[in-house]
Structure formats: structure tokens, C-alpha cells
Amino acid sequence: MTLLYASTFTKALDRLTTAEQKQVKITAFDLAQDESGNGLSLHRVEATPGFWTARVSQDIRIVLHKDGEHTLLAWVGHHDDAYHWAERRRLVPHERTGAMQLVEIVERTEERLVYTETVEEAAPAPVAVHRPFAQLSDDDLLNVGVPRDWLDVVRSVDEASVDGLFGSLPDEAAEALLDFATGGRLQDHVALQAGPGADPFAHPDAQRRFRAVDGVEELKAALDAPFAQWAVFLHPAQRAPVSRDWKGPARVSGSAGTGKTIVALHRAVHLAGRVGAQVLLTTFSKPLAASLAGKAELMTEATPDVRARLTVRAIDQAAYELYARAFSQPNMATASQVRAAIKAATDSGLGAGHSPAFLYEEWDELVDAWGLHDAEAYAAVPRIGRRTRLGPKQRESAWAVFAFVRERLATRGVVTTADIYGRLTQWVEDGGQLPFTHVVVDEAQDLSVAQARFLAAVGRAGTADALFFTGDLGQRIFHLPFSWAKLGLDVRGRAQVLKVCYRTSHQIRRAADRLLAGEIADQDGIEESRRGTVSVFDGPDPVVELFDDANSEAVGVGKWLSARLAEAMPEAEIAVLVRGQAQLDRGRAAIKPIGDGISVLTMHDAKGLEFRAVAVMALDEDVLPDPERLAGIGDMADLEAIQDAERHLLYVAATRARDRLMLSGVSPGSEFLDDLI
């Protein structure tokens, strides 16, 4: 007999109190030790074959389904709710796809004639009712996983009732119909049809909602973490790249909330399951790496051998550790040391015609970033997104400063982060032995040039599937664009785009996507299309509000935040985001009357985080896009690159919100707000 649990069970469990959850888990663990349930108080649900309830406490019941071969934890809740839920469900394999489904029973009502007194007056003009699925055939609907009992209901539903319908259908059917209703093609969602005799729980669509567990420890690892709701049940489109045998570096992308991080986690755990593997799971910041590490621990709690083969680090932290092991502890150059060296160079007469601010930016974004050590390389480096075009004499003048800076840093025995990656790249190419066999990189759109070069060397030194990336070009905010392929990271032919959004409501995602083009191409010509992306849940439309001044905005946002607290949202699940450090006081003014439990962050610092409710403030005309970044634009290509970067930043901020989003500023507001309304 096999014990399984459903995504509906973990979601229902999360809605109970902490004390109730503890009781449920004890009962579930008893069931894991004896899957027959002989030690439990079980009662058959007479209205639906196969369903039982297991008594947890005087009022809490677990809904089970037992068929002799499988015992499924299907739902949990209070007594009456549990019976009502079970009486309205059937557990059956879909007749066309073979995937096991928990199908909600269709309620049928008889039409009755009602007498009304006739009033002789002009009848109102009939209102046309749009039924988006009316023309779809039985085969069309069955092919995407709609249960047969729901075919007529789906075809008869009007546009206003579509969102309510999706909550009653299996995920694969709801996602296909939502895409179709918003302009997509149903043919793109035809489900895999299982062969005769196949296990219906093994179907890819079934595996996103049911999971078999091997004993108490694995069940405990799953139920102890709310993270299990989204980290265990993979969409088939997510599952495929996780287990695929890639023949080179691969990249999975998609809009915010489509589960790229989930894919990275599962890929890392999948690789760490191989005997002899050593996997590095990495991302761009320590806080995000810590979050990944916590989730990886949950996923590997029942498999200590896999956990031992998996290391999670921020990418710079991993590089420093590797550098210290291969050479010695690095003495890092600080930004103030670089600025001091630039000032010393200009004070000595070098760099005529260039300001210290320009020289530092040029050093940071080009010279150091690309590891340039001579004037010829400086003349040839791509200047994508740089605001200023330089003639030969201007480059010569600037390079004199950079040569001075390099000599000054070398004399003091300090190195930059890019220097560390440069030396490690050469070390790997010379045969240096890495402590890991595979590298999985999350948020890969924000890799620097030096990091990309190093990873390319790692890939060349390892197996064909040594490198795996997840990211979203629409969320690139930290570095100027560059060609991965020219640096040795060629993912062409091995790039996949996810289309199902789990984190952000349909309304928020749809509004945020308006900030970006339907297709975004990288410097290698690989397009990431946002068309056809669907969210699995709905919510209120985002609120866009402009105020007469900053004080009025703080009051207005404060009222909006208070309303969220009145809805019982925890303060920790709410955030206020602003463009930069200069606007932080405006965010603090909004939360001052409420309390200090609400986070106030810059948009950059919010990267990779998520909250139930987000207020994005200070979206003023002279704040976003940042006027300092637009000053002294070199040409239209530079203007477009910087405008895109600023749009990406607002996109990142807006998509930190799961359920509720407010965007505000002082009138007339940022030009980007026009795209959201």
C-alpha cells in the first residue's frame, strides 16, 4: 500500500491554527506508520465511494481516500466542513489523459417557471452575453484535462463567471482555459495521454498535486513546512527541465512568480542525488542564498546523503572561499580606495576632460567589470547602455587614470571582486580542481561579466550538464546587458520559458507585464516571450493613485496599509518599496502611524523577496526613471537601455506583491504609470 498526500491537504492544513496543525500531524504520522489506518477512528463518507474521515480531535477531521492500493491524505478541516468537502469530490483518473484528479461534483439545478405580472412598457434591449468557451468541442476540452462532467458547464459559463469556474477545475484544465480566454491557443496545452495500465498518480499532471511519501520522516519533512505547497508540487513544465539530461549549459526563464527558483532548487537536489556529485546552488546575494539554503534543507530532510552533497552559497561568497583555498585570503579593495585613487590620478593632471564621477562609473561598469588591463581592450569593449561615447583622445585620457588606479591597487595589495573571478577563471583553465561537479545559478539575469566568464570556464572543465541557470531578463537590474555566448555560456537551443505564475495574482501580473515588451531578447538573440503566461489565482486590481504632495501621499498610503492590517495580514507580509535611498523617508512616513513591523526597502533590496501586500511609493516624474541616469545620454540606444533598466526595476517592485498592490506618487507621476492604468 502506498501513502500519498495532496496539495489540497497541505493548503487546508496551513489554514488551521498552530495547535490544530500539531494534532493533525500526529494523526498523519500514525497513519504513515500503519497505512491501513487500523489504529485510527475512521468513518466512511457514505455519499462518495472511497472517502473516509479520520478523527484528529473533537472537531478536526482528516479526509482520506482509500482504494486498497493507495491511501491519500486529501483534505483536513473542521468536522462539518470536512464531510461537505468529501461529499463534493471524486478521485478518478481522467478518461483522456489518464492523470488522477480530485474532481468537484457538478451541482445541477432544475429550471423552474416563475409567474410574474406583465407590465406593458418597452422591453430593455437584450444584452449580449459572451461565452468564451461555447464553441469548444468535447475533444478540445478533454484534451486539456477538463473532466467530462464539466464539459457543458465550461461551455455555458459567461465571461463574468470565468474566474469562479477555474477554482473548481483541475489545474491543468484551468490554466489551459485561462490562456485561451486571454488570447492563447488551446493546442499549446494538450496534455500527455498515458498508456494502458499506467499508474494515474505517476502522470506529470497528477504529480503536481499528489506526492507519495516513504515513511514518517519524509512525511514530517513535507508537512512541517508551508514551503511544501509550492516546492513539492511541480507543474509538468517545471518538472521536465529538472530531470532532463542537458547536453550543455541550460537556462530556464519566465515572468516573475513562474517558479524559476523552485526549478533551480529541484534541479540542484536532483543532481545531488547522484552518487559522486557535489552541487553548488548559488544566487547573487547572501539573503537570497540563506533563503535557498533553508528550503533546500526542508527538501532534503529525509535524505541526509543528498543534503551532504549540496552546498548553498551566494556566488561571491563561494568565489572568495574558492580563492582562499586556491591562493590565500583576498584583501578586498573598497569603493573609497578606488575613488581615492581616481582623485589622486586627476590631481596629478591625468584624465583631462572627465569628471571623477564619470571615471568611477566607467571603472565600475566597464574597466573593472570586464577585467580590462590595457588601452586596446578598453577601446574594443562593448559600451551597451553607457551614456557617453568616447573618441580616441577621450579614451586615451581616461585610460591613463585607469592604469594609475590598477597600479595603485596592486601596490597596496588589494583586489576587486572582478579580479578574484579573473584569477579563478585562469586557475580553472590551468587545471585547478573544483570542489563541485555542478553549479545551479538562480537569478542568473544579474550575473556580472566576470562571473559569467568564470562559470563558462567551470562548464568547459566539467561535464556537459555542469551548468544550469534560472532567471528572467525582465528582472535584470544590476548590470548592463552583455552576450553570454561570446563569454562561453551558450544556452541557445537549451533555453526554456515557464508560463504558469504561482506567486502573483492574475491582476497584478497582467498589470506588471504591461511595463515590458511581449518578447524580450538577450544579446544572443534568445527571446523570452511573456505572451501566454497565466496566473493560478485571482485578486483585486492594483491601485494606482497620485497625490498633490508627499505628505498627502504618506497619509493615503498609510490608510491603504491600515486596511491591509484590518484584513488580518501580518505586518511581516507587507512592504513599502521606493526607488532609492533618497525616498526611504517617504516610505517611513507612511508606516509611522501604524507601527514598525512593515518593511521599508529600496526596489533593489527587495529583489527576490515576496509579500502579500506591497505599496510602491514615490513614483514621481523626477524619481522614476532616475534623472541622474538619464543625464548626458550618448545616443538613442543608450536612452533605450537605461529606460529599459528603469522599467525592469519597477516591474521587479510590482511583482513582489502576491495579493495586493498599490502604486503611488506625486502628480503627474512617473511616465511608466501610464502603462499600468
Say whether both 472 and 390 belong to one domain: no
Strands 574-578 and 599-602: parallel
- Angstrom distance (rounded) from CA 174 to CA 179: 9
Q: In the listed set 414, 447, 465, which residue is the last one of a domain according to the structure?
A: 414
CA 518 to chain centroid:
18
Say whether both 600 and 661 belong to one domain: yes
Residue 132 lies in a domain: no
List the grid coordinates of 617.
511609493
Say whether both 177 and 256 belong to one domain: no
Residues of the chain scoring pLDDT < 50:
109-120, 227-228, 230
- Write down the pLDDT at residue 39: 58
- Write down the pLDDT at residue 308: 95
CA trace torsion 355, 361, 366, 368 (10° rounding): 100
Say whether both 376 and 262 belong to one domain: no
Residue 531 lies in a domain: no
With contact defined as beta carbons under 8 Å apart, do 43 and 111 qualify? no
Find, among 614, 618, 613, 675, the residue nearest to 648 by Cα: 675
Say whether both 514 and 557 belong to one domain: no
Give the list of residues 6+ apart from residue 5 with CB closer than 8 angstroms, or none: 28, 72, 73, 210, 211, 213, 219, 222, 223
Residue 615 lies in a domain: yes
The CATH number assigned to the domain holding 322 equals 3.40.50.300
Say whether both 247 and 374 belong to one domain: no
If you search the block for the grid coordinates 473516509, which residue do you land on?
52
Going by the DSSP 8-state scheme, the letter that residue 150 receives in this structure is G
Q: What is the pTM of this model?
A: 0.73
Residue 128 lies in a domain: no
Say whether both 560 and 669 belong to one domain: yes
Residue 649 lies in a domain: yes
The CA angle 632-634-639, to the nearest 5 degrees, is 85
Residue 208 lies in a domain: yes
- Angstrom distance (rounded) from CA 367 to CA 382: 11
Q: Which domain holds residue 554?
A: 540-676
Residue 67 lies in a domain: yes
Q: In the listed set 368, 385, 414, which residue is the last one of a domain according to the structure?
A: 414
What sign has the CA pseudo-torsion 436, 438, 443, 444?
Answer: positive
Find, among 298, 194, 183, 292, the residue nearest to 236 by Cα: 194
Using DSSP's 3-state secondary structure scheme, residue 39 falls into coil
Q: In the listed set 380, 414, 448, which residue is the last one of a domain according to the structure?
A: 414
Say whether both 604 and 666 belong to one domain: yes
Count how many domains the chain has: 5
Residue 379 lies in a domain: yes
Q: Phi first, then psi: what are they for 52, rounded to 5°?
A: -135, 160
Per-residue pLDDT tens for 573-626?
999 999 999 999 999 999 998 878 899 999 988 887 889 999 999 999 999 888
Say whether both 212 and 243 belong to one domain: no
**314 - beta bridge partners?**
283
Say whether both 575 and 666 belong to one domain: yes
Rounded alpha-carbon distances, angstroms, from residue 45 to 12, 68, 85:
19, 16, 10
Say whether both 647 and 556 belong to one domain: yes
DSSP sequence for 438-458: EEEESSGGG--HHHHHHHHHH
Say whether both 456 and 504 belong to one domain: yes
